[in-house]
């Protein structure tokens, strides 16, 4: 119905008049009161679509004073949001027909009714718009929030929960919705967005990706993220766009979105604002009010709680994964340490190079590779040392193929490159690499295809800055390539193998030198002496010692007699061998013109003093007769051990029995002053045996008794023994110990026998 000053016209065009009690001014005041205080928004527009009247409720909805509306168009007052109102007014103006029930979507929806206003003659002179805000009822709000809570509870992933928040809000509350969070570094990141209009969605995405949000803005998302309150913009003012724009291009892009109404609410959990929920209307023309803001805040509260739960769940998951990684890393480290320890044990267990390398190659199959090959660099090329594979038949084929690869190839080839540069090389899909082989036949290609190599790690074996070989580890089938940890483990293993190879080679070289040196210090063959059988056994003391300080010799002196010499130089190795050589060849040279054993040893002592002062030795020098079948005496000379030289000299002087049976005792200390006992004779009859042994120092001093030892000599030797404990021993000692001579003999006069015993000799 349209109301006029004189009455109320009906829709049929009929006019009904009734007498008015009182003057017309009273009715005008009543009409103004009813329109101004109506609980709905009411606006009257002229035919040029300018505001003529705006009541109090509509001014509240628009957040624009009533006086500011009069004379302005909806677009002037509301901006882009007024375009929909202007469009509806134009349709009513053109058709003259009311436009009713223009509803806006959402749980707090509004309805707008547009009516043409006519005068008494039926002419259209104005348009009335009535805005009815249908606040969401309790049931509607509860249903919406219940649906939102169910959607938010469907996930415990942080980003997924935020995406669900945006999806819940569109289209029930907004035409598009965005969720922004503040990262720990202070930057703002959009993590979720939902839109109805795909064209505007593309522009909004471009806006956030290329321009971002101004974190220092005084209004909008930046202000809310800094802890500000919720913001409601029923009509988006251009000042809001200007405040949030970074530059002119950004401002133009914001204006192109045609935002009609905006709500920005914080996402707060545990007293901390971590994000902002932005609701925006565009094409729907919906205008947000206080009821919409309250509903948005309820949604934000539920969303923040769900996001916080998701955040806690993610933190728990991250801690669990970190713990799993730590446990896995610890177990892996233990496995690596155990693997290296086992490899080191194998490398240290033997100096047999080929056997050791083969055992290490077999060990790699348990943890690192499916195939392991080791080649050493030698004078004429590469020598295959080890090839290991789980399949013995395939391993044999690989050995046969690798045996032909004695050439490393040019530096452009993988093996040649590793040997030339000394750096490892990791090759993915090694089956596609062109390998340099002497015979590129069909069988070889078929074998490589059967291996189905997926990853190959070539590593140099280095020692002392030299490349001594190469190790190749191969993975086949569906095993993953070598990762950095496995590569580091393999390179550490290769380093240890290289050192072991170098040590084994040095040991072999030293063994060969020692063998040659020792053979030069011993007679190649024992001579045949008529009437005598001579046998000798040489065994160096200690594991791995081929060069010792003991020697023996049988030769003819200058008088045509046979000389038998047994000597011992304290110590082992090259230096002891040098003293041994000096003693042996000095004895041989002196024996050509000095026939007495004691004289030979005295000359040896003088030579030792000149060449190596302080050196010590022990030696037994015997001179059998040229007629052994008779009872011709055999001259024997025995030196005493240098460590016991003082006590031995005393024994030689104090023991007349020693002189009677005739050991020629000489203390060869390497010094010019020495003492000796007078030479005697021992008759070795046919069928008797004489044995000379150069034992260790422990056995020489304790295990065997000396024929010169008596009770008096034992008591007198104790002070010397005590003094010897505090004396620094010389590095090498050449000494003749009477106790090392074990002789079963008959004295020259045939009256007494000498017996060798463990606790001391007895007459």
Per-residue model confidence (pLDDT) at position 235 = 84
| Residue 488 tokens, joined | 């580091």
The number of helices, as runs of H, and strands, as runs of E, in the chain is 23, 28
DSSP result, 464-495: TTEEEEEEEEEEETTPPPPPHHHHHHHHHHHH
Per-residue model confidence (pLDDT) at position 4 = 37
Compute the half-sphere exposure of residue 472: CA atoms within 13 Å on the CB side of its CA: 25
Q: What are residue 385's phi and psi, to 5 degrees? A: -110, -40
Compute the distance between CA of residue 509 and CA of residue 516 in angstroms, rounded to an integer.
11
Coil vs helix vs strand at 188: strand
Least Cα distance to 616 among 638, 642, 590 occurs for 642
The helix (run of H) or strand (run of E) holding residue 255 is: helix 248-255
Distances (CA, A) of 49 to 33, 35, 45, 663, 716: 24, 19, 5, 149, 143
Per-residue model confidence (pLDDT) at position 687 = 53
Cα distance between the two ends of the chain: 160
Compute the distance between CA of residue 9 and CA of residue 32 in angstroms, rounded to an integer.
19
Q: Give the mean pLDDT per block of 10 residues along the chain (763 residues).
A: 37 49 69 81 92 88 83 82 81 89 55 88 90 66 76 77 82 83 81 70 61 74 88 84 78 80 90 89 79 88 85 86 89 89 89 88 90 88 88 82 68 84 86 54 69 87 90 89 91 92 86 79 84 79 62 83 81 74 86 83 81 57 49 34 37 34 34 43 51 46 35 39 44 33 31 36 33
For the chain, what are the domain ranges? 2-133, 138-315, 352-510, 550-718+729-754
Per-residue model confidence (pLDDT) at position 115 = 92
Q: What are residue 454's phi and psi, to 5 degrees? A: -110, -25
Per-residue model confidence (pLDDT) at position 560 = 80
Q: Does domain 138-315 have CATH number 3.30.450.40?
A: yes
| Residue 44 tokens, joined | 């009257």
Tokens 């995405």 belong to residue: 205
Compute the distance between CA of residue 416 and CA of residue 378 in angstroms, rounded to an integer.
14
| pTM greater than 0.95 | no
Q: Collect all residues with Cβ–Cβ distance below 8 Å to 265 and sequence separation of at least 6.
A: 224, 230, 231, 276, 277, 279, 293, 296, 297, 299, 300
Per-residue model confidence (pLDDT) at position 497 = 92
Compute the distance between CA of residue 735 and CA of residue 616 in angstroms, rounded to an integer.
5
Least Cα distance to 338 among 306, 363, 307 occurs for 363
Question: Homologous superfamily of 352-510 in CATH?
Answer: GAF domain (3.30.450.40)
CATH topology of domain 2-133: Beta-Lactamase (3.30.450)
What are residue 178's DSSP bridge partners?
193, 278
Per-residue model confidence (pLDDT) at position 282 = 81
Per-residue model confidence (pLDDT) at position 286 = 76
Coil vs helix vs strand at 71: coil
Q: Do domains 2-133 and 138-315 have the same CATH topology?
A: yes
Coil vs helix vs strand at 570: coil
Per-residue model confidence (pLDDT) at position 666 = 36
Compute the distance between CA of residue 494 and CA of residue 460 in angstroms, rounded to an integer.
7
Exposed / middle / buried, residue 75 (Cβ in 10 Å: 0-12, 13-18, 19+): middle
Kind of pairing between the strands at 231-233 and 261-269: antiparallel
Per-residue model confidence (pLDDT) at position 706 = 34
């Amino acid at each position: 119905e349209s109301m006029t000053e004189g009455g109320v016209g009906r829709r049929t065009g009929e006019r009904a008049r009734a007498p008015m009690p009182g003057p017309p001014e009273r009715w005008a005041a009543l009409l103004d009161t009813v329109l101004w205080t109506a609980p709905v928004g009411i606006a009257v527009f002229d035919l040029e679509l300018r505001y003529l009247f705006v009541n109090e409720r509509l001014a509240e909805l628009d957040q624009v004073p009533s006086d500011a509306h009069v004379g302005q168009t909806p677009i002037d007052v509301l901006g882009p949001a007024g375009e929909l109102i202007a469009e509806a007014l134009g349709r009513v103006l053109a058709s003259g027909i009311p436009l009713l029930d223009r509803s806006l979507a959402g749980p707090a929806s509004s309805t707008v009714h547009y009516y043409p206003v006519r005068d008494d003659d039926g002419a259209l002179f104005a348009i009335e718009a009535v805005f009815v805000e249908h606040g969401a009822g309790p049931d509607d709000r509860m249903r919406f929030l219940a649906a939102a809570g169910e959607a938010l509870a469907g996930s415990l992933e942080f980003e997924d929960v935020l995406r669900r928040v945006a999806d819940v809000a569109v289209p029930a509350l907004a035409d598009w919705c965005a969720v922004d969070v503040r990262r720990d570094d202070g930057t703002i990141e959009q993590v979720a967005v939902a839109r109805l209009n795909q064209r505007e969605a593309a522009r909004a995405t471009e806006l956030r990706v290329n321009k971002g949000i101004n974190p220092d803005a005084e209004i909008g998302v930046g202000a809310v993220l800094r802890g500000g309150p919720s913001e409601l913009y029923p009509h988006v003012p251009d000042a809001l766009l200007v405040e949030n724009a970074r530059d002119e291009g950004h401002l133009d892009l914001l204006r192109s979105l045609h935002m009609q109404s905006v709500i920005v609410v914080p996402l707060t959990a545990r007293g901390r604002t971590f994000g902002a929920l932005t609701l925006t209307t565009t094409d729907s023309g919906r205008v947000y009010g206080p009821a919409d803001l309250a509903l948005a805040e309820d949604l934000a509260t539920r969303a923040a709680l769900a996001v916080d739960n998701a955040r806690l769940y993610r933190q728990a998951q991250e801690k669990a994964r970190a713990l799993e990684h730590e446990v896995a890393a610890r177990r892996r480290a233990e496995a690596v340490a155990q693997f290296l320890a086992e490899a080191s044990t194998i490398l240290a267990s033997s100096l047999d190079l080929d056997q050791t390398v083969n055992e290490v190659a077999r060990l790699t199959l348990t943890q690192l590779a499916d195939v392991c090959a080791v080649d050493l660099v030698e004078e004429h090329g590469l020598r295959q040392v080890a090839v290991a594979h789980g399949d013995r038949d395939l391993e044999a084929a690989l050995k046969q193929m690798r045996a032909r690869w004695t050439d490393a190839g040019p530096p452009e080839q993988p093996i040649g490159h590793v040997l030339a540069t000394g750096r490892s090389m990791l090759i993915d899909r090694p089956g596609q690499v062109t390998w340099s082989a002497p015979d590129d036949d069909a069988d070889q290609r078929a074998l490589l295809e059967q291996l189905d190599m997926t990853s190959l790690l070539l590593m140099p074996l280095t020692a002392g800055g030299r490349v001594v070989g190469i190790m190749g580890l191969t993975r086949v089938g569906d095993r993953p390539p070598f990762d950095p940890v496995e590569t580091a483990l393999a390179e550490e293993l290769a380093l240890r193998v290289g050192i072991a190879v170098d040590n084994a080679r040095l040991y072999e070289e030293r063994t060969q030198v020692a063998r040659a040196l020792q053979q030069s210090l011993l007679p190649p063959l024992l001579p045949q002496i008529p009437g005598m059988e001579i046998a000798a056994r040489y065994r160096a003391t200690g594991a791995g010692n081929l060069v010792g300080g003991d020697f023996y010799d049988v030769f003819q002196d200058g008088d045509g007699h046979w000389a038998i010499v047994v000597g011992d130089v304290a110590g082992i190795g090259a230096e002891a061998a040098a003293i041994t050589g000096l003693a042996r060849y000095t004895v041989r040279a002196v024996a050509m013109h000095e026939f007495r054993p004691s004289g030979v040893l005295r000359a040896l002592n003088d030579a030792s003093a000149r060449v190596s002062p302080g050196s010590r030795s022990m030696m037994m020098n015997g001179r059998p007769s040229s007629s052994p079948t008779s009872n011709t005496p055999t001259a024997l000379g025995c030196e005493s051990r240098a460590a016991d030289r003082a006590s031995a000299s005393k024994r030689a002087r104090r023991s007349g029995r020693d002189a009677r049976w005739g050991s020629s005792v000489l203390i060869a200390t390497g010094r010019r002053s020495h003492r000796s006992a007078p030479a005697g004779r021992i008759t070795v009859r046919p069928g008797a045996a004489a044995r000379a042994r150069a034992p260790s120092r422990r056995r020489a001093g304790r295990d065997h008794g000396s024929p010169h030892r008596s009770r008096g000599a034992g008591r007198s030797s104790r002070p010397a023994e005590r003094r010897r404990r505090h004396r620094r021993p010389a590095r090498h000692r050449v000494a003749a110990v009477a106790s090392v001579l074990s002789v079963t003999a008959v004295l020259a006069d045939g009256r007494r026998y000498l017996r060798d015993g463990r606790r001391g000799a007895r007459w």
